[in-house]
A and B are shown apart, each in its own frame.
Chain A
Amino acid sequence: MSGFVESIVGRYVHVEIDGEINRIYFEENGSGIPLVCLHTAGSDARQWRHLLVDEEFTKQFRIIAFDMPWHGKSNPPDSQYDNEYRLTTATYTATIRAFCEALKLDRPVVMGCSIGGRIVLNLAISHASEFRALIGLEAADFQQPWYDTAWLNRPDVHGGEVCAALVSGLIAPNGPATARDETLWGYKQGGPGIFKGDLYFYRVDGDLRGRVGQIDVRQCPLYLLTGEYDFSCTPEDTLRTAASIPGAKATIMERLGHFPMSENPAQFRASIAPVLQEILSGQNT
């Protein structure tokens, strides 16, 4: 309907990360337990727009999604424009903690997808007491590379087109066409070298094999959900990871791929609703 205004509110917060103020764009809606959502590599927080307007979830959760520096409407740090972007475990972890601190969030739930799912595992290893629960979508301690990231940023290949074409195969077939198009549009809009720089964390710096066994879910519950059509972080990758973390709960989601919240929001809702309900129930016991 023309004239309809969504209930999502977008603002900027100044966040000090690695000694420099970053102007971080975030969107939020709802009230209750803070639920911070992390987007995938090379995209931005628009991936969460359907969750952000969920009438039921927003009654119980203050849902917040922010654009990582260099992504969406969060610019690179002022001092970094001329440098090659490379996301590290340390900077990614610091960014999430600083953002939560800047907004004075009280033990938020953090839900991340893909690289966001990987960093959630690191939060569970190193900072579990700061969070109420952690949710990793398309998350594993490691997964086998399936292409050379050098193709993502070179002058003779269109970066937006190749990034979108690569990840298009990670979307489950026969989902809603507009949701698929929108998911890929996010990749077509990424800055030069940003997807590649995010994957430095994913492939080189963020290998958590041998470390996830340290996770204590009694401190902070951990949920892992992966789409059956994700051949990047496969269901087997997630199940292997979950098997090495006593008490971690893993779900394989049907008819979903690597971008569950954006490629097929209704299908994703059916899987995430019981997780959010369980987190809510845990608060009342």
Chain B
Amino acid sequence: MNPDATSTDRPSVAFDNQVVEAFKTIPELLSRDEKLIGRGRWLDVECLLGPTVQPFHVTIRSGRILDMTPAPVLMRSWRFAYRATPAAYRAYWQAMPPPGWHDLLALTKRGEATLEGDLHPFMSHLQYFKDLLALPRRSGFGGAS
């Protein structure tokens, strides 16, 4: 990963697809993390998460992902959305992410991610969402650095 890579450096479709496929592993990775599920035990929400090229409608109940369906889904609502460029996820998932690419809100600050909607579920469970969206890092998706 080039730390200087931005959404303006148009990545390939294959690159985008790799990020989308890695994102799809999040429900399975979460199901094996009881501590993280426990942190979200009060969380029930419908939200839109994922890469800008392919976000997902995510249904969370008591911290567990019950459903994750590629958007768009006809007339389905969400309370908040966190969408980041494929390059941003790729950097965020590195074992040692580059400076400025290492946190969800660092990514929004640098314009590589957007946060929209009713932010209460996100802010009241901020560490949960930071750790949830970091899960593919554990499987080494983003590479060493």
Q: Which residues in A have some Cβ–Cβ distance to B below 8 Å?
A: 144, 146-147, 151, 156-158, 161-162, 164-166, 168-170, 172-174, 228-229, 231, 234-235
Contacts and interface: CB of A to CB of B under 8 A. Distances in A.
B55 interface: no
Interface stretch (B25-33, B68-76, B118-126): B118-126
Contacts of B100: 229, 231, 234
Given A165-B126, A173-B97, 7 more contacts: A157-B124, A168-B127, A172-B102, A229-B102, A231-B103, A231-B105, A231-B106
Chain A interface main SS type: loop
- Highest count of chain B CB atoms <10 Å: which of A144, A151, A165, A228: A165
Contacts of A170: 103
Contacts of A169: 102-106, 130
B123 A173 contact: no
A166 B96 contact: no
Given A173-B96, A231-B99, A146 B105 contact: yes
B79 interface: no
A146 B102 contact: no
A3 to B, nearest CB: 33
Given A156-B120, A173-B102, A231 B109 contact: yes
A94 B99 CA distance: 35
The 4 closest A-B pairs by CB, nearest first: A169-B103, A165-B126, A165-B127, A231-B106
B124 to A, nearest CB: 5
Contacts of B109: 144, 146, 231
A166 to B, nearest CB: 7
Interface string B49-70: 0000000000000000000000
A41 to B, nearest CB: 16
Interface residues of B, number: 20
Contacts of B97: 173
Contacts of B104: 169
Contacts of B119: 151
A162 B104 CA distance: 14
A157 B99 contact: no
A161 B127 CA distance: 8
A239 to B, nearest CB: 14
B6 interface: no
B114 interface: no
Contacts of A174: 95-96
Nearest to A236: B100
Contacts of A158: 124
A166 B126 contact: yes
Given A173-B102, A174-B96, A168 B130 contact: yes
- Highest count of chain A CB atoms <10 Å: which of B96, B105, B123, B127: B123
A144 to B, nearest CB: 7
Nearest to B94: A173
21 contacts: A146-B106, A146-B109, A156-B124, A161-B127, A164-B127, A165-B127, A165-B130, A168-B130, A169-B102, A169-B104, A169-B105, A169-B130, A170-B103, A172-B99, A173-B97, A174-B95, A174-B96, A229-B99, A229-B100, A231-B105, A235-B99
